[in-house]
Chains A and B, each alone.
Chain A
Amino acid sequence: MSPAGLVPVAGAVLLAPLFLGIIHRTKALFAGRSGPPLFQIYFDAIKLLRKGCVYSGATSWVFRLAPIVAPAAALTAFLLLPQGGFPALVSFPGDFVLFVFLLGTARFLTVLAALDTGSSFEGMGASREAAFSALAEPALLLCLAVAVRESGHLSLSGLVGSVTGAEWQRAGPALALTAVSLLAILLAENARIPVDDPNTHLELTMIHEVMVLDHGGPDLGFILWGQALKLWVMGALVVGMFLPGRTGSPWLDGAVFLAGMLALAVVIGTVESTIARLRMTRVPQFLVGAGAFAVMALALVMR
């Protein structure tokens, strides 16, 4: 553990909402709008934090727990993930399973909180979230298994950043399959198009948005921030795993990493602008496809 390890965590906490802002700006550019300010999420979060909380009499402590645990779990996941040239604060063999577990915990509590409200809408969203994540999570673990096999490391510190240009030359197809699969999982897990539209409030098609309908004030602020953190942590995983180029200087690598994150935000914004949301019945097919890619990549590297 070193104090330098705190830099990426602090950076992620501060920059995560900006990542969403860049996605929104890309989408606005595609649509020909000027779009919200880049820092809109910060403004929203600050506004919400100054408000008071309103809780329904039907809810219990579970409902109040979710908005705290969701960002906390994402934040803990950051401790395991090296970003740029900076090492992770905590690292041990097999910590990638803990990483997936933390993301799963955040989701589990969000689902429980949605069920806790007793609203039929929220139950619908919770059921969808649970069903789709049951398909996305094995695919994520398979992708990580490919990386473990490729790098020979059992911890995220080892397997993130181990991919170099030479590695891409040697196992390019398998890595490309994993990258596509991981990108699809990122879109699904973070409720982005083509799985879920973060902007829609049409009750029949919402997944994530419908689960947080009853949260308000600081709780909603924390949920927004937690969402941004989760998007950042998964984005950092994708960028860290597949972006070659390690110079050795942490600051230079950090700059490369930030450039990769910026590119990823633009890619997500482009995907969201050019692809329509899938019909609900096609979503499992999309996720099974992502899983199939991961299995194929694993078969290719295990050969």
Chain B
Amino acid sequence: MHTLLDTLIVLLVFTNLRLLGLSRINASIRTVAAQGVLLGLVAAIANADHLSPRIVLIAVVGIAVKGVAFPLLLFRALRAVKIRSEVEPFVGYIPSVLAGVAAFLISLAVAARLPLPVRPPSDLLVPTALSTLFVGLLLIVSRKKALSQALGFLVFENGIYAFGVGIAYEAPTMIELGILLDVFVAVFVMGIIVFHIAREFDSIDTTRLASLKE
């Protein structure tokens, strides 16, 4: 079972690297969805020893929101803006992937020194959560399209969720579900804003928003 958990966590890291190397936005949305489903499974399996309705709720709601609802919202936004891929991000795909690997290595080193209130179910969970945070931030700052940045925000949130599930039986449910609700609203609003930006300016390239200021 320990191996199963580790395998799921390594798959999470893999989805991070894949996101950094992908240019197609629909493939990126699918990858984020897969990441959400993986996170839900990790939440359930990591706490399998003391499985309570609370944990099941966190896992099921996580999978439903991250694996189904977000992708649907984002695909709707994608259809509205009629773009297919990120063109020329600020940081290229190969440097991004290398940065993702570096983030994972740094996270391993940091997590080894991080004092935690409880021992996480797997040694890999905290480094993975940290590297997911880094990857999310990197996606937000390095991509130009508003939709890609929204995806970066989701990945960032996934990192927080991953951090939370490691110590889920310690953290209150209300906080976990509250965060999920916040993110849900955020993605909903982002979808609408992306749609409106695209309708007004025929583009969701955020670099071009700078020329609005005069």
A242 to chain B, nearest CB (A): 15
Task: Identify B108's interface contact among A176, A289, A299, CB under 8 A.
Answer: A299
Q: Is the CB of B6 within 8 A of A288?
A: no
Q: Is the CB of A289 within 8 A of B3?
A: no
Task: Given the known inter-chain contacts A292-B98, A295-B105, A296-B101, please indicate yes or no for A285 contacting B21, CB distance below 8 A.
Answer: yes
Q: Tell me if B85 counts as interface (CB < 8 A to partner A).
A: no
Q: Tell me if A177 counts as interface (CB < 8 A to partner B).
A: yes
Q: Is the CB of A296 within 8 A of B21?
A: no
Q: Tell me if B17 counts as interface (CB < 8 A to partner A).
A: yes
Q: Tell me if B139 counts as interface (CB < 8 A to partner A).
A: no
Residue count of chain B within 8 Å CB distance of chain A: 19
Q: Tell me if A169 counts as interface (CB < 8 A to partner B).
A: yes
A100 to chain B, nearest CB (A): 21
- What is the CA–CA distance of A303 and B122 in the complex, to the nearest angstrom? 13
Q: Is the CB of B93 within 8 A of A285?
A: yes
Q: Tell me if A172 counts as interface (CB < 8 A to partner B).
A: yes
Residues in chain B near residue A296, CB distance under 8 A: 10, 13, 101, 104
Q: 1/0 per position for B1-42, CB-CB distance to A under 8 A?
A: 001001101100100010001000000000000000000000
Residues in chain A near residue B3, CB distance under 8 A: 169-170, 172-173
Q: Tell me if B123 counts as interface (CB < 8 A to partner A).
A: yes
Main SS of chain B's interface residues? helix
Main SS of chain A's interface residues? helix
Q: Tell me if A284 counts as interface (CB < 8 A to partner B).
A: yes
Q: Tell me if B100 counts as interface (CB < 8 A to partner A).
A: yes
Residues in chain A near residue B97, CB distance under 8 A: 285, 288-289, 292
Residues in chain A near residue B100, CB distance under 8 A: 292
Q: 1/0 per position for A170-198, CB-CB distance to B under 8 A?
A: 10111011000000000000000000000
Q: Is the CB of A303 within 8 A of B108?
A: yes
Closest to B8 in A: A173
Q: Tell me if B94 counts as interface (CB < 8 A to partner A).
A: yes
| B residues in contact (CB < 8 Å) with A | 3, 6-7, 9-10, 13, 17, 21, 93-94, 97-98, 100-101, 104-105, 108, 123-124
| A residues in contact (CB < 8 Å) with B | 169-170, 172-174, 176-177, 284-285, 288-289, 292, 295-296, 299-300, 303
